[in-house]
C-alpha cells in the first residue's frame, strides 16, 4: 500500500515541476508586456506635451525638447532622445527611449511621435 502512495506522490511532483516553470514564464511575459505598454504610453505623452509647448505662440522647440525629456525620464525611460521639427505651419516631436525590460528581446527601444498645426492669430 505504501508503494502506491509513493508513486502518486512522484506523479504530482512531476506535474508541479512542469506547471510551475510555465506559470512563471506566463507571469514574466505579462509583466514584460505591461512595462512595454507603459513605455509606449510614456513616450507618446512626452511627445504630445512637447508638441503642446512648441505649437504655442511663445513656445520654442528647445522648451519642448526639455519638457519631453523630463517627462520621459520621470516615466521610467532610459537613453531618451527627442527631435523637434517646427515648420511654418506644423510642429512635430519624436521621442525615443529604452524601456527597462527585464528580458530584452529587441523590443526595449521605443519611438513615438506627435504632430500638430502651429497656433496662429487671425483676423476675425
The pLDDT assigned to 32 comes to 92
Q: What is the pTM of this model?
A: 0.80
Residue closest to 67 by CA, chosen among 78, 56, 51: 51
- Residues 28-66 pLDDT 10s: 999 999 999 999 999 999 999 999 999 988 888 999 999
CA distance 93 to 83: 6
CA 32 centroid distance within chain:
11
Does 123 fall in a domain? no
- Residues 17-28 pLDDT 10s: 888 889 999 999
Q: What is the mean pLDDT of residues 102-122?
A: 87
Where in the sequence is the domain holding 44, given as residue range(s)? 2-117
The CA radius of gyration of the chain, in Å to the nearest whole number, is 25
Does 122 fall in a domain? no
Q: How far is CA 16 from each of CA 2, 4, 27, 122, rounded to the nearest angstrom?
A: 21, 19, 16, 71
- DSSP state string for 97-112: EE---SS-SS--EEEE
Does 47 fall in a domain? yes
Domain count, the chain: 1
pLDDT band at 5 (very low <50, low <70, confident <90, very high): low
Amino acid at each position: 500500500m505504501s508503494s502506491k502512495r509513493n508513486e502518486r506522490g512522484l506523479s504530482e511532483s512531476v506535474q508541479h515541476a512542469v506547471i510551475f516553470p510555465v506559470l512563471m514564464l506566463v507571469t514574466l511575459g505579462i509583466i514584460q508586456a505591461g512595462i512595454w505598454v507603459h513605455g509606449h504610453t510614456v513616450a507618446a505623452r512626452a511627445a504630445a506635451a512637447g508638441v503642446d509647448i512648441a505649437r504655442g505662440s511663445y513656445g520654442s522647440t528647445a522648451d519642448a525638447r526639455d519638457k519631453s525629456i523630463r517627462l520621459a525620464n520621470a516615466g521610467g525611460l532610459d537613453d531618451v532622445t527627442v527631435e523637434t521639427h517646427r515648420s511654418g505651419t506644423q510642429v512635430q516631436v519624436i521621442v525615443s527611449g529604452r524601456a527597462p525590460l527585464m528580458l530584452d528581446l529587441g523590443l526595449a527601444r521605443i519611438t513615438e511621435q506627435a504632430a500638430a498645426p502651429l497656433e496662429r492669430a487671425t483676423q476675425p
